[in-house]
Structure 1
Amino acid sequence: MLNRIKIDPNICEGKPTIRNIRITVDFVLKLLGDGYTADEIVKIYPELEKEDIYQAAKYGAWLASEKTIAIP
């Protein structure tokens, strides 16, 4: 279940966020892609919890499995 991922058109232009705290899922995924661990991310952003990071990754995986996007 992805109960920590919220989408509100009035927050961050409707991008998926973590618990409506104005940290977007794509930002967390970029940090993971840059090699940061969940422990490092929650240390830098103490308002996040490890479960937030895991759910962001699950959400990204779900999106990737649902949509095909051509990469030029």
Structure 2
Amino acid sequence: MKNLQRITLDPAVMGGKPCIRGLRMTVGTVIGLLASGLSTDDILKMYPYLQQQDITETLAYAAWRSEEIEVPLAIA
């Protein structure tokens, strides 16, 4: 996955959930808004501190995570 500049993971912000530019706006929130039928323009009007590139990178991050494989650790 290319280096995403707008998606941040910080344990001190939203419990370490992936956020947009260190803001208290999670990737999950934006994906949920899109899934509920809101358009990118709707979201940008609701949250004026977001930018189009934030939405684009949020979708790229979500797509990458959905393809990631999680392997359980074997306990020895």
For normalisation by structure 1, the TM-score amounts to 0.89
Q: Does 1:38 align with 2:43?
A: no
| Unmatched runs of 5 consecutive residues or more in structure 1 | none
- In structure 2, distance between residues paired with 1:18 and 1:7: 9
> Which ranges of 4 or more aligned residues in structure 1 deviate by more than 6 Å?
none
Q: Which has the larger radius of gyration?
A: 2
Deviation at 1:67, TM superposition (A): 3.1
The one of 22, 25, 28 equivalent to 2:27 is 25
- In structure 2, distance between residues paired with 1:67 and 1:46: 34
Aligned partner of 1:30: which letter?
Answer: G
| Unmatched runs of 5 consecutive residues or more in structure 2 | 71-76
Which deviations, in whole Å up to 9, do the C-alpha atoms of 1:1-39 show, x marking residues without a partner? Answer: 411000000000000000011100000000010011111
Equivalences, count: 68
Who is 1:66 aligned against?
A: 68
- In structure 2, distance between residues paired with 1:67 and 1:59: 14
RMSD: 1.1
- In structure 2, distance between residues paired with 1:28 and 1:6: 14
Aligned partner of 2:16: which letter?
Answer: G
